[in-house]
Amino acid sequence: MDILDGGAIEPGQTPLYTAEQVRELDRRAIAGESDGFALMHRASGVAWRWLKARWPATKSLTVFCGGGNNGGDGHVLAALAATEGRQVQRISLTPRERLKGDALRAAEMADDAGVGFIEWREGLRVEGDVVVDAMLGTGFAGDLRPTYAAAIAAINESRCPVLAVDIPSGITADGGAEPSMAVRAVMTVTFIADKLGLHTGRGAALAGEVVVESLGVDALAHDDITPTAWRLQSSLVNLALPPRERDMHKGAAGFAGIFGGAPGFGGAALLAAEACARVGAGRVLLATAPEHVGASLVRCPEVMARGVTHASELDELLDRLSVLAVGPGLGQGSWGQSVLQTALKRSIPLVLDADALNLLVSRFADQRRDDWILTPHPGEAARLLETSVAEVEADRPGAARALQQRWGGVIVLKGAGTLIAGPDGLALCPFGNPGMASGGMGDTLTGVLAGLMAQGQAPGWSLERTARLGVLVHALAGDMAAREGGERGLLASDLASCARKLVNPTMGEEDAAATR
């Protein structure tokens, strides 16, 4: 995994853990306490402080409590809020006689603070300025019991802002899946260590702002508990792209090829080629159907556009390339099949996307390589794994790992909380926005990846690390473009100029005078 000598975090990434790993850290933390209830009290106090900071005008709140330690956190938070003069409605999904251990002790603390105990029943009105979700926690898996499903529905229908304690109820902590329904939170305060499921799939959509509170536990100090994944930070871009030497020439910046744009499908390949050039590839060759060459020359004359009628015309071009991307606008007809077949015969680093992935399944299923990056969306991932989209989304990390094991190389599983799986493990990109759910975004990512691969990175950088960087640059470019013009109407073509700014050292988005 990406740990530097001496056990420190590699710059530009932070650790993510599974629910079981965090439970083990929690057990160790409790073992170090003279009283395990003290850790619960500390967690509840932190959550209460975040609630006040986020909603300072709160005068009343409703706290939903489950039967375990997550529910205990809710009971203690209710007690703290009442002690400070807030009106609290405490709703328990577990009858009082079934509470035990620290959860019972927490409920009694709320009793002593004068907070009423209401057992959940359908039709109960949710009151208060803010709702606190402390029902299920990270141990949830499988289907919701009807009582919890009804309570979650009531919370979401109340339209009150929600603070989730540790994780929104109904979300799986390891995969970010929503098996049936889940609480939609505005903020999630999670404890001990960050959880993978809060940042990918439905978890990314429903957790809102995620705050990690370690409660004094240093997860990385436990050498026997290896993080399950790494969350990428924006600082990785500057760390990965040192300034260029002043005598740099285009040959030293690589020669990238974009093969795609079957007859009638030219736009995708043009988007990929422009993005490839904008992130700094020294030369970019676009091999496409002849009818698209004119459009390429008008759009980006710096790209060397070559009209290709037969795949045999590609041989001389391949000899000159340092990296090749195949797929945008490729189609699954004879033109696309022959282009991909020609590319696969060469031992050149590849980026495959779109119809190149579909053709892998239907025509080239015997392939497995260590020198390629595959960039499927969930539908393409399902085809590559011969499963369903629902199964992919039910366990996105598991699907990414399975894809890497089956096909080799590096896998970029696109979606909310894009995952990058390679020989070193799993990384997650927390950036990007809903405006990027539009045509051509994947083609732009393909171009960004090819352009960065062509240039090569700092000493020690691998294909996997380059994939992480490319995904990060693409997502951050989407966020920059959204800030400039909004999410609705965001086009893939808006990202190229933003990506250029990101791969150059800047003093801010307004100043891109320096170069890489």
Binding residues for AMP: 414-418, 442
**Which structure tokens are listed for 145?**
């019991």
Q: 6: buried, middle or exposed (CB in 10 Å: 19+, 13-18, 0-12)?
A: exposed
Annotated binding-site ranges for K(+): 70, 133, 169
Do 220 and 193 form a contact (C-beta atoms < 8 A)?
A: no
Residues 6+ apart with CB under 8 A from 134: 63, 64, 65, 66, 70, 71, 73, 74, 75, 77, 165, 166
Q: Is the dihedral of CA 86, 89, 94, 97 positive or negative?
A: positive
CA distance 101 to 38: 13
Sole residue written with tokens 């009106």: 87
The amino acid present at 109, given as its one-letter code, is M
Do 314 and 308 form a contact (C-beta atoms < 8 A)?
A: yes
Do 479 and 433 form a contact (C-beta atoms < 8 A)?
A: yes
Sole residue written with tokens 């676009």: 286
Q: Is the dihedral of CA 309, 315, 266, 420 positive or negative?
A: positive
Q: Identify the three-state secondary structure at position 325.
A: strand
CA distance 194 to 210: 9
Do 164 and 183 form a contact (C-beta atoms < 8 A)?
A: yes
Q: Which residue, among 186, 15, 27, 184, has the nearest Cα to 102 in the 3D structure? A: 27
Annotated binding-site ranges: 69-73, 133, 137-143, 148, 166, 169, 268, 329, 377, 414-418, 442-443
Annotated binding-site ranges for (6S)-NADPHX: 69-73, 137-143, 148, 166, 268, 329, 377, 443
The phi-psi region of residue 142 (left if phi > 0; otherwise alpha if psi is between -120 and 50; otherwise beta) is: left
